[in-house]
Structure 1
Amino acid sequence: MTTTQKKKKSYPVLEDIHGAKYQPMDELARGGQGVVYTTEHPGVLVKGFTSKDDKVKQKWRDHMEWLIRQDIADLKLARPLTLLKAPRMGYVMELMDGLIPLKDIFDRFINASDEVSEENPAPHIQNYLDEGGLRRRIRILAQLARTLNQLHCRGMLYGDLSPDNVFVSADSAYAETWLIDCDNISFESHCDFTVHTPDYGAPEVVREEAMLSSLTDCWSFAVIAYQLLTHNHPLKGDVVNEGEPEVEDEALRGEHPWINDPDNFDNECFTNLPMQLIENSALPALFQKTFGLGKNTPSERPSMAQWLEALTEVDEHLFVCHECNGQTMLSLDNVDLENASCFFCDSAIDEKLVLFEEFIKLSEHEKQDKYPELSGNTIVTGRKVCLQTGDQKELKRLMPSFSYDKVATDHIQLEYTDTMLIITPVEPLSISRGEGKIQAFKKKISLKITARGRNDEPYCIHLGDPQLTHVFWQFRW
């Protein structure tokens, strides 16, 4: 769907099958299959289905009746709640206020790039920061990945995924993310849809060789993610942008290399934002796997669980620069807090930042039985989490998958205020100073900022029985 200018006109009152009435107010979005309107009820929308074909209308209504019965109320979807009373074709849905289509953000950074001049060489960089920077983009994508992952884990697909039907917070300080236009949600085994939005359809769908599936969802998501992070379409490099329209059609069918193909530079692009922002993460490899081998071999595309895990890991490594408000990701492999600096302005890292590092402590029995080659009892997992003043975060032992969305039995809630660090255990935990005495805690622990730096020994937060193999988080205070 695409947003349109709000029309100040009157619409007839609509009634649902239960007798409730709705007054359409403004047109919110319009697409090939229908129109969405706001109503006089806050957060309540109505969608009208616009096909005139009786067979298509009956098939659509049957599908909507099926979708209303599905157990998807816990997902961030503007799902159909009830159908409109016949002969009207449409349904009622809820969507929280304060959201705009992701397409609006895409349009703004395209406009910013068009304003590049000798006097203003980098308006797109400023736009990147004004729109919430890297952290907001990562969190938008993580929420979207989580919703798609939950759908896929239930054997469902979303279908026609594009920036038109992804709605996000209008306020750049937030990253709330919802999907609307849920008409194409289906079980994979029952799906016979091929509808797609130009630029976002998987190559096999564009070539009309395959139906929609979870694999086509993964493709569309990767395109949106690449655009949001780099301000460019992954298949539209200089060859496409400077060529005839048929060259673009060929690229969207998968007949040209993607713009960062390491083995073929024919379609390179030099106008997008640098990949250095995320180069120390798993994201570049996921993009390569999607747009490289996965371009014409759908089964090679990363799953939504893989995207969710990689995006969550990036979010955990981001720190905010207090000079320019830009966000930079610490290296996953080598975190050097003393030499780390802002990607955008080179300012030194926030000296109040606290870094939590995850380890596995092996029991002596398990070390001898499974890891006799280790010189010690500690395994470095490589997982690290940045915490700055004002942050509230959770430390979960499991990396995100479908089960990560449920409440874990072994995680920690962190809150970092101007005066203290508050550690709240969900399950009982133990804390030690380095290899020192381990003390058990069931309630929250508060560490005052005035005590920071008085001891060289790091704190260790132990999850589970310290005498058995367990996870612990280490940080300095």
Structure 2
Amino acid sequence: MSQRFNEYVDEYQNVHIQDKVLGQGGQGVVFRTKDPDLAIKLVTDESGTPVTDEESVERYSKRFKRVRLLPLPENLNISVPAALLQNNAGYVMQLLSEMVPFSHFWLDGKSAENIGIDDIPAWLSAMPENEAKKIVHYYRTGGLRRRLHALYKCASLLARLHGNGMVYGDISPNNIFISEGLDDSAVWLIDADNIRFEITAGGGVVYTPKYGAPELMQGTDGGRPQSDCHAFAVVSFYLLSMLHPFNGQYVENGGGGWDSSEADKVLEKDPVIMERLRGIKEAQEWSWEETYAYSGYIPYVDDPADDSNSSTHCLPRSLLLTEKLTTLFEGTFGPGRTSPLLRPTIYHWPEALAQAADMTVTCPGCSMNYYYDFIHPETEDHNCPYCKKQRPQVLILESYRWNGPDKPINSPCWRYVREIPQGTELTIPRRIFDEFAMLDSDTAEVLISSSNNGILIKKSDHGKADLSVAADSHPQSGFQKLYSQMKIDRVTPDVQFWMFAHLNSPRLVKCMISGGGK
């Protein structure tokens, strides 16, 4: 490395010049290079100094080479080592330009400076300025919908990895990247050198403090899929609610409201764990309350059986979590907190997160997202829970499994809701018309646009479904096959029509355009 120019040479004699730092932790630092699609992971010691001694460089190089030999699934968005560095413990990896870490979803000092007093809307005026800025930043970075969709994509990556028998190891907001533009939602994992096959004990276990599973912090188990599930759930809860799932009143009040003697009794029986936690506490400069909470000895903030660590801070979870997501969080942080095998597997998360994202609408008044079926208690109508503005005109698709004309239609298996202003075109993904599949559920199947004259339905260039359409206003005509596009007359503001799709599993889809109200 040239100290003067921050140059790094890889094993193929390519020279890389350091650009801005993307993230830094206990394991090392990741920074972009002057090549916009490449980044470098540089291993550092405890003081933050790059590791350059020959023996350590050789040891890390062998580890990075093993990662390149792992049987990773094809087309998996994980930035693996592309070239090892010379004279430094580190490697070059692909990282597309215009991608940012999940940590950008949280308000930092620079983002706070970009939010002035005039940027805080009236409905947030009663809040402390810093808390109001957090919510402004929340909707400026895509709100609830973008966070749910990003987490669904991340969970899909982890599910494919777990399906091949491997564990990611160090899930944290700095290791998950998303496209910077709000119109793109590609998600990548970096820091792939921790990927390994499942281990029950031994080896170097790596995790990020506050996100690591209790068994990793306590040193009682090795890296397993269940450990990934805990870390992913912490990232998800924190990202959606802006509240760490274990940072409740017990932590804030210095242990008040919970009898920590129970944790003390457990730790006294195992001095090895106690000494390990003491080392973590000192290294992280935590209080004992924080150490107990983050290492799995304290209930989580929404534990239905124990409210001693509850919290009403940040956004209300009742506005953020569907019933399925609530069940997953309770399973992970409730029984799964002390028994890793009781945690829901990662395979439950992608579908639950995608379903939640698909049921959100964006308020035209305050830009916050909320679930389309929310009824405001004051108006008893479909109004925004934040600013009370009426729900905008929305397209609601309800997808039913079709088992034949003589079989009853049960509850919808999927709902897709989007605001549909006049003149806009919505892209309807494949998951509305077929069983949910992680690999292609986002693929465009149909395009729908609305105007004063009618509704235009077009097949996507990527569409595979055999589609037919029927308008409620012309039931006698029945279903007509959709070859390219079809127009449905708009007699009233509220329109209803039907689509029938045949892919792997037939679907009858009820389509409604509604301007709001009950």
Is 1:319 the equivalent of 2:361? yes
Report if aligned partners of 2:6, 2:18 keep a CA contact under 8 Å in 1.
yes
Query: Which residue of the other structure, out of 304, 316, 324, is the alignment partner of 1:262?
Result: 304
Query: Are residues 196 and 347 of structure 1, via their aligned partners in 2, closer, same or farther at CA, if it must alter by over 3 Å?
Result: same
Provide structure 2 residue ranges, at least 5 long, that are not aligned to the other structure: 45-50, 118-123, 256-286, 514-518
Which residue does 1:299 correspond to in 2?
A: 341
Aligned residues: 445
In structure 1, C-alpha distance between the alignment counterparts of 2:468 and 2:341, rounded to whole Å? 44
Which residue does 1:141 correspond to in 2?
A: 151
In structure 2, C-alpha distance between the alignment counterparts of 1:414 and 1:137, rounded to whole Å? 24
Which residue does 2:391 correspond to in 1?
A: 349
Which residue does 2:511 correspond to in 1?
A: 475
Which residue does 2:244 correspond to in 1?
A: 233
> Which whole-Å deviations, capped at 9, do the CAs of 1:42-100 have from their partners, x for residues lacking one?
21112223346766544432231122234456122222112224x43321111112223
Which residue does 1:423 correspond to in 2?
A: 458
Report if aligned partners of 1:109, 1:231 keep a CA contact under 8 Å in 2.
no
In structure 1, C-alpha distance between the alignment counterparts of 2:209 and 2:196, rounded to whole Å? 21
Residue 145 of structure 1 deviates from its aligned partner by 1.1
Is 1:217 the equivalent of 2:232? no
Report if aligned partners of 1:136, 1:173 keep a CA contact under 8 Å in 2.
no
Percentage of pairs with the same residue: 26
Provide structure 1 residue ranges, at least 5 long, that are not aligned to the other structure: 1-8, 368-376
Which residue does 2:497 correspond to in 1?
A: 459
Query: Are residues 392 and 90 of structure 1, via their aligned partners in 2, closer, same or farther at CA, if it must alter by over 3 Å?
Result: same
In structure 2, C-alpha distance between the alignment counterparts of 1:156 and 1:430, rounded to whole Å? 42
Is 1:184 the equivalent of 2:194? yes
SS in structure 1 opposite 2:150?
A: helix
Is 1:384 the equivalent of 2:432? no
Is 1:76 the equivalent of 2:110? no
Query: Which residue of the other structure, out of 401, 408, 417, is the alignment partner of 1:360?
Result: 401
The letter for the 1-side match of 2:171 is L
Which residue does 1:199 correspond to in 2?
A: 210
Report if aligned partners of 1:387, 1:416 keep a CA contact under 8 Å in 2.
no
> Which whole-Å deviations, capped at 9, do the CAs of 1:430-458 have from their partners, x for residues lacking one?
2234565444525232336xx22459984
Residue 224 of structure 1 deviates from its aligned partner by 0.7
Which residue does 1:251 correspond to in 2?
A: 293
Which residue does 2:487 correspond to in 1?
A: 447
The letter for the 1-side match of 2:42 is G
Residue 418 of structure 1 deviates from its aligned partner by 5.5
The letter for the 2-side match of 1:84 is L
In structure 2, C-alpha distance between the alignment counterparts of 1:29 and 1:143, rounded to whole Å? 21
In structure 1, C-alpha distance between the alignment counterparts of 2:92 and 2:140, rounded to whole Å? 34
Residue 386 of structure 1 deviates from its aligned partner by 1.0
In structure 1, C-alpha distance between the alignment counterparts of 2:189 and 2:21, rounded to whole Å? 17
Is 1:330 the equivalent of 2:372? yes
In structure 2, C-alpha distance between the alignment counterparts of 1:285 and 1:230, rounded to whole Å? 16
Query: Are residues 453 and 395 of structure 1, via their aligned partners in 2, closer, same or farther at CA, if it must alter by over 3 Å?
Result: farther
Which residue does 2:36 correspond to in 1?
A: 42
> Which whole-Å deviations, capped at 9, do the CAs of 1:155-182 have from their partners, x for residues lacking one?
1111011112222344456544322211
Report if aligned partners of 2:434, 2:505 keep a CA contact under 8 Å in 1.
no
Which residue does 2:470 correspond to in 1?
A: 432
Report if aligned partners of 2:434, 2:507 keep a CA contact under 8 Å in 1.
no
Residue 210 of structure 1 deviates from its aligned partner by 0.7
In structure 2, C-alpha distance between the alignment counterparts of 1:252 and 1:178, rounded to whole Å? 26
Report if aligned partners of 2:154, 2:188 keep a CA contact under 8 Å in 1.
yes
> Which whole-Å deviations, capped at 9, do the CAs of 1:175-215 have from their partners, x for residues lacking one?
44322211101122598331211100101111100111111
Which residue does 1:5 correspond to in 2?
A: none
Report if aligned partners of 1:10, 1:25 keep a CA contact under 8 Å in 2.
no
SS in structure 2 opposite 1:476?
A: strand
Report if aligned partners of 1:318, 1:329 keep a CA contact under 8 Å in 2.
yes
In structure 1, C-alpha distance between the alignment counterparts of 2:94 and 2:295, rounded to whole Å? 36
Query: Normalised by the size of structure 2, how large is the TM-score?
Result: 0.77
